[in-house]
Amino acid sequence: MTKTKTSRYDVAEHLRTPEEMAAYLEACLEEANGDAAFIAKALGDIARAKGMSQVARDAGLSRESLYKALSGERTPGFDTILKVIHALGLKLHAEPIKANT
C-alpha cells in the first residue's frame, strides 16, 4: 500500500486576480461572525498573494508589522485594516441586513 503525500493548502497560491481576492474577502466577511482576527488573517492571505513587501510599502507599514497585524493572532487597529484594504486595491462596502419576514 502506498502512502498518500499531502501538502499544506495555501489559499494565497490560488488568489490570482483582483476579482478572486475580492470574492475571497467577501466570503470571509460573511463567515467571520464578528471575528476581527479572522478578517485580519484573510487580508494576510490576500497580501501574501499580492506580495507582502509591496503591500507593506503601499500601506506605509513595515513588512514585519504587517505580518504581525495580519497573522490572525491579534486584532489590528481599524486604521491598519483600512490602509491594507486600500493597498490591496480593494474597498469595503455596506448593505442592509435583510430581515426575515
Q: Is the pLDDT of residue 90 over 70?
A: yes
- Cα 97 to its chain centre, rounded Å, is 23
CB distance 66 to 37 below 8 Å: no
pLDDT per residue as tens digits for the range 5-27: 888 888 999 999 999 999 999 99
The per-residue pLDDT for 23 is: 96
User: Whole-model pTM?
Assistant: 0.86
The per-residue pLDDT for 101 is: 58
3-state SS, residue 54: helix
pLDDT per residue as tens digits for the range 32-73: 998 999 999 999 999 999 999 999 999 999 999 999 999 989
Q: Is the pLDDT of residue 100 over 80?
A: no
